[in-house]
Amino acid sequence: MREAGLNSDDYDLFLSKKSKVKAAPNIQVFQTAAYLAATTLTPSANKVLMYFLSISHFENYVNLDQQTLRDDLNISLSATEKALKELYDNGVILKTKHPTDKRRNDYFINPMSAWKGKILNRKIALNALTHASENQWHLFEEDY
């Protein structure tokens, strides 16, 4: 530390042995999205959101098509479409065209709503979103 010009009195150093116990899969949900789910979203939109949270991959990617979503949640086509539109319009999810099948959308949970992955990658995703889509930020007033 001294070689780097740092004063060791300014830092606390803690050493701990890494745990060999693997943590259960988890996702961090932020309060703004939880509040929206509790106060504004319809039951179908909440159901789809909870399902998305439960199956999302790292960096919030949700890999499924609408047919699978309908089958797994046992909801109608119109309820599925309305729920996805509601989540998108409220900035909870993001959607893009699938890279190889232009008839299909890929879904991501907005990193301002929830995050699964490394914190640094969340910051990168937030930075990319600020430049990509104003529509997705209207709900979230936080400054990152």
Give the Cα separation of 73 and 80 in Å (integer): 9
Residues of the chain predicted below pLDDT 50: 136-144
pTM exceeding the 0.85 threshold for the entire prediction: no
Q: What is the percent of the chain with per-residue pLDDT over 90, rounded to a whole number?
A: 38
Give the Cα separation of 82 and 86 in Å (integer): 6
Q: What is the pLDDT of residues 72-94, one digit of tens each?
A: 999 999 999 999 999 999 999 99
